Amino acid sequence: MINFWVRPDDKQYIGPPVVHVSAPSSARHREREELYTTKLAHNLNPRGAHSQYLEGMINELREDFANMRANFGLQLVQQGSDIRELKTMVGQLLQHHKQQGMDVVLYFIRKRIDSNFGLFPSNVIIADCFFWACWRYNKHVVRDPHVDEDMEQFEQNIDWASEMNDTPFSEYYTGKMQLGSSSWAHKDIVYIPVNNNGAHWLTAKVDIPSWHITLYDSAIKMTPKSWFQIKNASPLAVLFPYLLMVNEYYSHHPNQMLDLTPFKMTREEDSSLPQQISDGDCGVYALKYIEYLVARSPFDFNSSHIALFREKYAVEIFHNDM
């Protein structure tokens, strides 16, 4: 709208009439812009074209997801088959005298401890099954099928100090033997898997400051006479002092006196110690004893968990993550 303002009373004003242009309101301006934008969008995208485009994209995504799901399902089936096969193999390896499977799991336990520094005590070491075999099958150990409580375990007059220098024990002590190990110079506790005549696994906890070895047995009812297991593990008690002496353990522990008397050995008789009810589970129990003892956790498992532990070991070995 255009208004002409004429000022007839102003006689001194000379010039064209004053013109005032009233601009449209901002609201009306926005309405016209929106109407223009809507018409432009309608002309560029006919009705329904955008919806059809979105629907096409959704269908493509659905097909992609369906293909991914099918491929993932095939991978899961294959992986499940591999894990079941590995579980069977681990189960077989952990049966009785199969020390290879025990050593594989022990390696992963050591690896877990090293990877979580601060969560586990630094004064412990975990030996492997070969370490025990070197003790038990020492050439001077008397092996008799008719074991007696009072039977002597060793030949007489043996120079054990020289024997220690002629064995792989020093390699263990320095941490060169077994993967994931370290020097024993500043260790106080040594955990060792112990096998009795290829038929039963136990866990031995060697407490050096206390000069004591504790055996953890998952089949106490099957061998009610503790001397039977203690007799089998006695090479540890007799030879461990010589291992410490030969490798100068006491130079790192001046507060401890050199002592070559055998370690005292007992079997843990606590009723809370988990016990096996199936033959062939002793290896898993021995491994779990070590895990729980190193973690300083109370034993809270029982025979119903053994199958799960076997599968867990298999999965962790399969993924190289334990």
* DSSP secondary structure letters along 214-248: EEE-S-TTTS--HHHHHHHHHHHHHHHHHHHHHTT
Among 72-81, 195-204, 205-214, the minimum mean pLDDT is found in 72-81
The pLDDT of residue 99 is above 80: no
Strand partners, 205: 191, 214
Least confident of 54-68, 75-89, 96-110: 75-89
Residue extents of the structural domains in the chain: 2-44, 94-318
Do the beta carbons of residue 237 and residue 262 sit within 8 Å?
Answer: yes
CA distances from 322 to 99, 192, 317 (A): 19, 20, 7
When pLDDT is cut at 50, 70 and 90, the band that residue 59 belongs to is confident
Per-residue pLDDT, 142: 60
Confidence check: pLDDT of 3 > 60? no
Instruction: Tell me: pLDDT of 21 over 70.
Output: no
- 94-318 folds as Adenoviral Proteinase; Chain (3.40.395)
Mean pLDDT comparison of 35-44, 46-55, 219-228, highest-scoring range: 219-228
**Mind listing the pLDDT tens digit for each residue in 66-96?**
777 777 767 766 666 666 666 565 555 555 4
Structure confidence at residue 40 (pLDDT):
47
**What is the rounded average pLDDT of the residues 33-56?**
57
Greater model confidence, 53 or 9: 53
Q: What is the pLDDT of the chain when averaged over all its residues?
A: 77
Q: Is the Cβ–Cβ distance between 149 and 234 less than 8 Å?
A: no
Range from 4-8, 81-85, 259-263, 281-285 carrying the lowest mean pLDDT: 4-8
Residues 6+ apart with CB under 8 A from 293: 191, 203, 205, 216
Please state the pTM of the whole predicted model. Answer: 0.68
| Mean pLDDT, residues 217-244 taken together | 87
Min mean pLDDT across 158-162, 182-186, 255-259, 317-321 is at: 317-321
Q: 237 near 263, Cβ under 8 Å?
A: yes
pLDDT at 294 over 90: yes
Can you say whether the dihedral through the CA atoms of 60, 61, 66, 67 is positive or negative? positive
pLDDT for res 14 = 54
How many alpha carbons fall within 13 Å on the CB side of residue 173?
17
pLDDT digits (tens, 9 = 90+) for 121-174: 889 999 998 888 887 766 666 656 556 666 566 666 778 787 777 678 888 888
Contacts of 311 (CB under 8 A, 6+ apart): 83, 87
Look at 258 and 205; give whichever has higher pLDDT: 205
* Interval 14-37 mean pLDDT: 51
Q: Are strands 189-196 and 200-207 parallel, antiparallel or unpaired?
A: antiparallel
Model confidence at 244, pLDDT cuts 50, 70, 90, reads very high
Reply yes or no on whether the pLDDT at 98 is more than 80: no
Across 92-104, b (16+ Cβ under 10 Å) vs e yields ebbbbebbebbbb
